[in-house]
C-alpha cells in the first residue's frame, strides 16, 4: 500500500524543498498584491499573521520562502486570498512560474457531491510518511454519520481503483448520486452490513445480490484520514 518516492540524494532533496518554498513565497506575495489593502515589508508580515491566525515568525517564513503552511491550511488560505491552491503552489502561467517537480504528488479533494474539486500538493517525504498509494483521491466530509471515525471537515483519502468490496473495511460508496462513507462487514449468515459509526444513524444489512440490485456503487477503498482540528 505504501508509495515510496526515490530521492537522488540529500542535497538534491534539499534543493527541491528550497525551490518549492521559494516558489510558494512568490505566489503568496503575488496573491496578496492582487488582494490589495495589504502592505509590503514588515507591515505585510503583521497583516498575514493576523489574517491567518499564526505567529509573526511563521508569517515571515511563509513570505520569505523559509517555510510553507500545513497541507490542510492551503484551501483556507487560497479561499481567503480569492485564488486557488494550484496558483499558490504552482503559480499562474502568465507569471512564468515553473511547475512543481514531477515527483510531487497532486491529490484531488472534493465534497460529497463530487461536483467541484481542488488540488492538494504533497511533498515526497510527506507522502512516504503517511503511506498513501499512487492515484489516491480525497473527500471532505460534510456529514457526521461516521463520527467519531470521521467528523464534518475531516478529509478521507481513498483509492478509486478499488471498485468492488474486497473485504471488511471502510469504503466510499455512491448512493443515489451522493458519496457516503460506510464501514463494511461481511457476515457469515446475514450478508453485508453497511455501518454508520454514529449510533444516531441506522446501519443496513444487505445481501450481495441486493447491494448490486440497489444501484449502490463502490467508489473506492479508504486508505487514510486527515482529522482536522483534532
Quick check: 214 pLDDT over 50? yes
Can you name the CATH fold of 10-103?
434 Repressor (Amino-terminal Domain) (1.10.260)
Give the Cα separation of 202 and 153 in Å (integer): 22
C-alpha cell read off for 27: 505566489
The proportion of the chain whose per-residue pLDDT surpasses 90, expressed as a percent, equals 25
Q: What is the pLDDT of residues 17-31, one digit of tens each?
A: 788 888 889 989 988
Over 80: is that where the pLDDT of 37 sits?
Answer: no
Q: What is the pLDDT of residues 108-144, one digit of tens each?
A: 777 876 556 667 766 666 666 667 776 788 899 999 9
Domain boundaries, the chain: 10-103, 137-226
- Quote the CA–CA distance of 169 and 189 in Å, as a whole number: 18
pLDDT computed for residue 35 by the predictor: 76
pTM over 0.85: no
> What is the three-class DSSP state of 111?
coil
Instruction: Indicate whether 103 pLDDT > 60.
Output: no
d(CA 209, CA 215): 10
Correct CATH for 137-226 of 4.10.490.10, 2.60.40.1730, 2.40.50.60, 2.10.109.10: 2.10.109.10
CA atoms 125, 63, 79, 97: torsion sign: negative
Kindly indicate the confidence band of residue 148, based on its pLDDT and cuts at 50, 70 and 90.
very high
CA distance 164 to 15: 42
Q: Which residue has the higher pLDDT, 224 or 128?
A: 224
Amino acid at each position: 500500500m505504501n508509495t515510496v518516492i526515490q530521492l537522488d540524494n540529500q542535497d538534491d532533496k534539499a534543493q527541491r524543498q528550497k525551490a518549492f518554498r521559494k516558489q510558494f513565497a512568490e505566489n503568496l506575495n503575488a496573491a496578496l498584491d492582487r488582494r490589495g489593502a495589504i502592505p509590503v515589508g514588515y507591515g505585510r508580515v503583521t497583516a498575514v499573521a493576523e489574517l491567518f491566525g499564526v505567529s509573526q515568525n511563521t508569517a515571515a517564513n511563509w513570505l520569505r520562502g523559509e517555510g510553507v503552511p500545513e497541507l490542510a491550511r492551503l484551501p483556507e488560505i487560497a479561499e481567503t486570498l480569492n485564488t486557488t491552491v494550484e496558483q499558490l503552489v504552482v503559480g499562474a502561467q502568465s507569471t512564468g512560474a515553473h511547475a512543481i517537480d514531477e515527483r510531487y504528488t497532486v491529490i484531488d479533494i472534493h465534497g460529497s457531491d463530487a461536483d467541484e474539486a481542488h488540488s492538494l500538493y504533497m511533498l515526497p517525504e510527506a507522502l512516504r510518511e503517511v503511506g498513501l498509494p499512487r492515484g489516491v483521491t480525497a473527500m471532505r466530509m460534510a456529514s457526521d454519520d461516521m463520527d467519531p471515525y470521521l467528523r464534518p471537515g475531516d478529509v478521507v483519502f481513498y483509492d478509486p481503483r478499488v471498485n468492488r468490496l474486497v473485504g471488511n473495511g471502510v469504503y466510499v460508496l455512491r448512493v443515489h448520486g451522493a458519496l457516503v462513507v460506510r464501514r463494511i462487514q461481511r457476515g457469515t449468515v446475514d450478508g453485508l452490513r453497511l455501518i454508520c459509526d454514529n449510533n444516531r444513524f441506522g446501519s443496513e444489512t444487505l445481501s450481495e445480490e441486493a447491494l448490486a440490485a440497489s444501484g449502490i456503487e463502490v467508489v473506492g477503498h479508504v486508505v487514510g484520514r486527515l482529522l482536522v482540528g483534532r
